[in-house]
Amino acid sequence: MLHPARRLPVLLSGLLLAGCASAPPPAAYEGESFSAESPFVTWSTRDPDAACEVAKRALLSQGYQVDATKATRIKGEKFFLPKANYGMTLDITLVCLPSNVGTAIYANALQTRYELKSAATSAGVGVAGIGSISLPWTADKEALIKVGEETISDPDFYKRLFSLIDSLQGS
């Protein structure tokens, strides 16, 4: 058994470790640099409507469902099933704005992760004249539950997207 004078440092170090384990992650805004160099933009010599039309064709060519209710704002969505009981969506928004060279095409991609979760429910039956009876029937209901979401900031992802858009601008 530890001497009482030695118990306090052991207790304090245990509490310190427990406090570190439950500390929240740093706030997202702390990592924002607002750099002039951005992976989220490319330029086109076309006018905004024509540039976004090419960007829409790029998303369609990759199997994205496209919503283009505005000519200069394109939204694309694609579903993925990387493994059983786990799904993902990738949402890409493209905005085409006038610039001094023609058009700036801004892209933003959001990845959302889902997991298949099940919940058991029990059933009850009401009979007129007798009352209600609860039966131990259980039914498993499965649903995809959103477990996370993040903006994709990988420059290589946007380089591949913009490279496809650039290759289609010549056609």
d(CA 80, CA 104): 29
- Residue 117's pLDDT band, with cuts at 50, 70 and 90, is confident
Looking at the predicted structure, is the pLDDT value of residue 121 above 70?
no
Average pLDDT estimate for 30-52: 91
Give which of 162, 167, 155 is closest to 96, Cα–Cα. Answer: 162
Q: Is the pTM of this model over 0.85?
A: no
Select the CATH number that applies to the domain covering 38-80+89-111+153-171 from these four: 1.10.3720.10, 3.30.300.30, 3.30.310.80, 3.20.20.120: 3.30.310.80
Q: What is the mean pLDDT of residues 112-129?
A: 73
pLDDT attached to residue 67: 94
User: With contact defined as beta carbons under 8 Å apart, do 46 and 103 qualify?
Assistant: yes
The pLDDT score that the predictor gives to residue 129 is 63
Q: Check residues 1 and 161 and name the one with the higher pLDDT.
A: 161
